[in-house]
Amino acid sequence: MADTAGAGPAGRWDEAVERQLERLEARLVAEFGDGPIAGWTMREHLAAARENYVGARVWNYLSILIERDVRSQLSRNQIPLASAEAAGALTEPL
Protein backbone atom coordinates (compact mmCIF):
# COMPACT_ATOMS: atom_id res chain seq x y z
CA MET A 1 0.00 0.00 0.00
CA ALA A 2 1.25 3.46 -0.84
CA ASP A 3 1.72 6.24 1.70
CA THR A 4 -1.76 7.12 2.91
CA ALA A 5 -1.00 10.32 4.80
CA GLY A 6 -2.81 12.34 2.11
CA ALA A 7 -5.54 9.81 1.42
CA GLY A 8 -8.98 11.22 0.93
CA PRO A 9 -11.42 12.35 -1.74
CA ALA A 10 -11.76 10.80 -5.18
CA GLY A 11 -8.52 9.91 -6.87
CA ARG A 12 -6.41 9.78 -3.74
CA TRP A 13 -7.42 6.48 -2.24
CA ASP A 14 -6.29 3.43 -4.15
CA GLU A 15 -8.39 2.04 -6.97
CA ALA A 16 -9.93 -0.78 -4.89
CA VAL A 17 -11.23 1.67 -2.27
CA GLU A 18 -12.62 3.97 -4.98
CA ARG A 19 -14.47 1.02 -6.57
CA GLN A 20 -15.94 0.09 -3.17
CA LEU A 21 -17.11 3.66 -2.66
CA GLU A 22 -18.63 3.80 -6.16
CA ARG A 23 -20.60 0.61 -5.43
CA LEU A 24 -21.66 2.07 -2.09
CA GLU A 25 -22.92 5.22 -3.80
CA ALA A 26 -24.89 3.15 -6.34
CA ARG A 27 -26.51 1.11 -3.54
CA LEU A 28 -27.43 4.19 -1.54
CA VAL A 29 -28.85 6.00 -4.60
CA ALA A 30 -30.94 2.92 -5.43
CA GLU A 31 -32.17 2.73 -1.86
CA PHE A 32 -32.71 6.40 -1.02
CA GLY A 33 -32.62 8.31 -4.31
CA ASP A 34 -36.29 7.95 -5.24
CA GLY A 35 -37.74 8.20 -1.75
CA PRO A 36 -38.35 11.10 0.56
CA ILE A 37 -34.63 11.81 0.57
CA ALA A 38 -33.39 13.05 -2.78
CA GLY A 39 -30.31 11.49 -4.34
CA TRP A 40 -28.43 14.78 -4.05
CA THR A 41 -28.98 14.82 -0.27
CA MET A 42 -27.56 11.32 -0.04
CA ARG A 43 -24.57 12.39 -2.13
CA GLU A 44 -23.97 15.39 0.15
CA HIS A 45 -23.89 13.06 3.17
CA LEU A 46 -21.58 10.70 1.28
CA ALA A 47 -19.15 13.50 0.42
CA ALA A 48 -19.15 14.73 4.03
CA ALA A 49 -18.55 11.21 5.35
CA ARG A 50 -15.66 10.72 2.91
CA GLU A 51 -14.10 13.95 4.14
CA ASN A 52 -14.21 12.61 7.71
CA TYR A 53 -11.69 9.97 6.69
CA VAL A 54 -9.18 12.16 4.85
CA GLY A 55 -5.77 11.05 5.99
CA ALA A 56 -6.93 7.63 7.17
CA ARG A 57 -3.97 5.30 7.50
CA VAL A 58 -5.98 2.07 7.37
CA TRP A 59 -8.25 1.61 4.35
CA ASN A 60 -9.61 -1.88 4.97
CA TYR A 61 -12.92 -0.74 6.42
CA LEU A 62 -13.38 2.70 4.88
CA SER A 63 -16.44 1.77 2.83
CA ILE A 64 -18.10 0.19 5.88
CA LEU A 65 -17.36 3.18 8.10
CA ILE A 66 -18.50 5.66 5.45
CA GLU A 67 -21.68 3.68 4.82
CA ARG A 68 -22.43 3.66 8.56
CA ASP A 69 -21.96 7.43 8.73
CA VAL A 70 -24.18 8.09 5.70
CA ARG A 71 -26.96 5.76 6.85
CA SER A 72 -26.90 7.39 10.28
CA GLN A 73 -27.29 10.83 8.73
CA LEU A 74 -30.01 9.66 6.34
CA SER A 75 -32.00 7.96 9.09
CA ARG A 76 -32.00 11.24 11.05
CA ASN A 77 -33.34 13.13 8.01
CA GLN A 78 -35.83 10.59 6.75
CA ILE A 79 -39.49 11.58 6.62
CA PRO A 80 -41.73 8.99 8.31
CA LEU A 81 -43.69 7.02 5.72
CA ALA A 82 -47.09 8.10 7.07
CA SER A 83 -46.10 11.77 6.78
CA ALA A 84 -44.77 11.28 3.26
CA GLU A 85 -47.96 9.55 2.17
CA ALA A 86 -50.10 12.27 3.73
CA ALA A 87 -48.08 14.99 2.02
CA GLY A 88 -48.42 13.18 -1.30
CA ALA A 89 -52.15 12.78 -0.82
CA LEU A 90 -52.51 16.51 -0.19
CA THR A 91 -50.58 17.51 -3.31
CA GLU A 92 -52.28 15.15 -5.77
CA PRO A 93 -54.86 16.79 -8.05
CA LEU A 94 -58.49 15.97 -7.37
Q: Is residue 7 part of a domain?
A: no
Quick one: DSSP state of residue 38?
B
Taking a C-beta distance cutoff of 8 angstroms, is the pair 27, 66 a contact? no
Q: Is residue 28 part of a domain?
A: yes
Total number of domains in the chain? 1
Residue 36 contacts residue 78 (beta carbons within 8 Å): yes
Q: How far is CA 56 from CA 4, 39, 43, 68, 76, in A?
A: 7, 26, 21, 16, 26
Residue 35 lies in a domain: yes
Instruction: Flag whether 87 is in a domain.
Output: yes
**Residue 70 pLDDT greater than 60, yes or no:** yes
Contact 66, 46 (CB under 8 A): yes
- Determine the average pLDDT of the residues in 4-9: 44
Question: 39 lies in a domain?
Answer: yes
pTM above 0.85? no
pLDDT at 43: 84
The average pLDDT across 58-83 equals: 79
pLDDT tens digits, residue range 14-41?
Answer: 899 999 999 999 888 887 766 655 777 8
Residue 93 or 67, more confident: 67
pLDDT at residue 6, as a whole number: 42
Q: Residue 84 above 80 pLDDT?
A: no
Residue 66, domain member (yes or no): yes
- Which domain range does residue 64 map to? 15-91
